[in-house]
Amino acid sequence: MSSSQHANPLNLRFSAGGHSFMDFDGRDRMGGWIIPQDIYHQPQNYNPLPTVRFTINGRLGIKLADAVDPKFRELDNPQLVPRLTETAGRITIRIQWPGYDLWSDVLHIYDHGYDVNPHNMQKLAKLIAQKVRVFLDDFRAEPSTHTNDDSWWLEKYPFDRLVLLELRHVSLGSWQPVLMALP
């Protein structure tokens, strides 16, 4: 096996447009590849809130399929409530999958039961996974319209091969999930 095949087992090509999450080296202990999204930004000032990291037994990442499984209970600090906004009751989740148009959807950050409680890590992971599933459903039927490079065509990335690593505050009220694809 050549060193280039070992370094990139999925034989993926990265766009020259940039990788939004350069503090990852492209591989994680799970053996996958970070989805290279452009960072969404608005031309206004904001104070970035801390990145929300999803870990299991200290290892970064939760499979999206596990996040939506009601029986899954292995997430570290599942009852921890992350700080997602200082003023609003909702945030916007944005995904800029390579070769596809920007996708966004609103996420309410409180349960609206008898008590209004902010979502904890377990619930947030589930809600983000559900948003990613909606994104995949919205775009999966169409090939990329922005490139002839089929490396990142969504049909190649089933939901059960995607992992949520982090949620990053990228602009006022906007968060982007850092996703990884498993081989």
Task: Read off the pLDDT of residues 129-182 as tens digits, 9 standing for 90 and up.
Answer: 999 999 999 988 776 777 777 888 898 899 999 999 999 999 999 999 999 999
DSSP state of 6: H
Q: What pLDDT does 15 receive?
A: 37
Query: Position 145: which residue type?
Result: T
| Rg of the chain in Å (alpha carbons) | 16
User: Which of the four pLDDT bands, split at 50, 70 and 90, describes residue 114?
Assistant: low
pLDDT category of residue 44 using cuts at 50, 70 and 90: confident
Residue 24 pLDDT exceeds 70: no
For residue 22, what pLDDT is reported? 46
What average pLDDT is seen over the chain?
Answer: 82
Of 44, 156, 43, 45, the closest CA to residue 99 belongs to 156
Q: 């970064």: which residue's tokens?
A: 60
Q: Is the pLDDT of residue 106 over 70?
A: yes
For residue 11, what pLDDT is reported? Answer: 39
Q: How confident is the model at residue 29 (pLDDT cuts 50, 70, 90)?
A: low
**What's the confidence (pLDDT) of residue 3?**
34
pLDDT band at 49 (very low <50, low <70, confident <90, very high): very high
What are the structure tokens assigned to 165, written together? 């690593």
What's 174's DSSP letter?
E
Whether 100 and 138 have beta carbons less than 8 Å apart is answered as: no
Residues 144/164, Cβ–Cβ less than 8 Å: no
Q: How confident is the model at residue 1 (pLDDT cuts 50, 70, 90)?
A: very low
124 vs 36: CA distance, rounded Å: 22
Check residue 42 and give its pLDDT: 82
